Amino acid sequence: MSLILYQMKKIISSAFLASILLVSCGGNKDDVNITPVDPEFVVGIGKVLPEGGIVNLSVTSPGKVVKIYKQLGDQVKEGDVLFDMEAVSEKLQVDQSKASLYSAEENIKALSIDINSAELKLAKLKKDYETSKRLLVNKAETPQKVFQDSIAYMEQKLTLDRQKQNFLAQKAALNEQRIALNTKQVAVNDKSFKALQDGILIRYDISVGTVLNANSVFGELAPLTDLVIEGELDELYANRLSLGQNVELNLVGQTDVIAKGKLDFVGSSLQNKSIIYETIGEASDRRVRRFTVKITEGANLLLINQKVECKIHLK
């Protein structure tokens, strides 16, 4: 039985007992005037949370956790790497790009060697052609030989020009491959999961080897903000709430007041009970009105996700 139902029964019982006592004392039922009991406080159930709520952690693409840097309960800062995931397809693409880049680099080296050889051959053919021309002047060489040497020289010059153009094209393609490799390497590095804001890891359901699915929540981050109480009050007393009412807080099952606060938000409508109610059957009965308590005393004695009773003073 919830504390609210217990309180209701207690109030009803008190009223019933008062009427019996009046009748038993000889009073006529027409003379008895029973005043309805007006409670001084009502009790709601609440949970300690950071102001603004808890941030769910999830990944945008699937992967397997291969290295963990932070543990449950650690305080993290924005940009801190929490863990690395294995980027299987991205790494395969990087390996393929590296192999292609290596092949292109070897091809560039071979082209460079061919160009050096072609330049040496061109220098020799040029020398032969100039020698033939000089000998022709002295009538020591035939015109046919000079013509053949000139053809050989010009053909080699054209060959060298084509090789140089091919070398420049291959070099440009090599630079493009390097840029593509860097882009793919960045994609691999992006598999590191980083904190988007400062906070404390209050749930962290991962270990090395854990396979995370896209958009599946694996943890929770509590922002480093002031603590508040997000609570619910049974609909029987929903119309008794108003902003600014004083609230005393105690842990469920205990009576000692450990913190105090004031209502700074009251829901405008009734809603179904949330997971704050954990007892079997509690979530299936009447609706509740949501409220928030701003803690004014004892916040240091509360822990995130603690379940508390909220004694809301009505007078």
Q: Which two tokens stand for residue 98?
A: 């590296």
Task: Report the candidate in 155, 165, 168, 95 with the shortest Cα–Cα distance to residue 128.
Answer: 155
Task: Report the candidate in 44, 6, 5 with the shortest Cα–Cα distance to residue 265.
Answer: 44
Domain residue ranges of the chain, discontinuous segments joined by +:
40-52+225-313, 57-87+191-222, 89-189
- The one-character DSSP state at 234 is E
What is the domain class of 89-189 according to CATH?
mainly alpha
Q: Which two tokens stand for residue 186?
A: 């960045």
Q: ∠158-161-162 over CA atoms, to 5°?
A: 90
> Radius of gyration of the chain from Cα atoms?
42
Query: What phi and psi, each to the nearest 5 degrees, are found at residue 95?
Result: -60, -40
pLDDT tens track, the chain, 315 positions: 444 444 444 443 444 334 434 344 444 545 445 445 568 999 999 999 999 889 999 998 888 899 999 999 999 999 999 999 887 677 778 888 889 989 999 999 999 999 999 999 999 999 999 999 999 888 888 999 999 999 999 999 999 999 999 999 999 999 999 988 888 877 666 688 999 999 999 999 999 999 899 899 999 999 999 999 999 999 999 999 999 999 999 999 899 999 999 999 999 999 998 866 555 445 456 799 999 999 999 999 999 999 999 999 997
For the question of whether the overall pTM of this predicted structure is more than 0.75, the answer is: no
Strand order in the sheet with 192-194: 192-194, 81-86, 63-68, 211-212
Beta carbons of 47 and 64 less than 8 angstroms apart: no
What would the DSSP string read from start to end of 101-154?
HHHHHHHHHHHHHHHHHHHHHHHHHHHHHHHHHHHHHTT-S-HHHHHHHHHHHH
What distance lies between CA 172 and its chain's CA centroid?
Answer: 39
Looking at domain 57-87+191-222, its CATH architecture is: Beta Barrel (2.40)
Residues 118, 157: Cα–Cα separation, whole Å: 8
In angstroms, the Cα distances linking 207 to 67, 77, 197 are 8, 21, 22
Q: Please determine, looking at this structure, whether the domain spanning 40-52+225-313 carries the CATH number 2.40.30.170.
A: yes
Beta carbons of 210 and 68 less than 8 angstroms apart: no
Residue reference for tokens 């009576």: 255
- Angle, nearest 10°, between helix axes 143-189 and 88-137? 160
Structural element, H or E, at residue 199: strand 199-204
- pLDDT for 62: 84
Beta carbons of 29 and 23 less than 8 angstroms apart: yes
- pLDDT for 41: 93
Residue reference for tokens 């509590």: 222
Q: Which two tokens stand for residue 106?
A: 């070897």
- pLDDT for 88: 67
- pLDDT for 109: 93
Q: ∠270-275-278 over CA atoms, to 5°?
A: 115
- pLDDT for 93: 82
Residue 307's DSSP bridge partners are: 47
Domains 40-52+225-313 and 89-189 share a fold: no
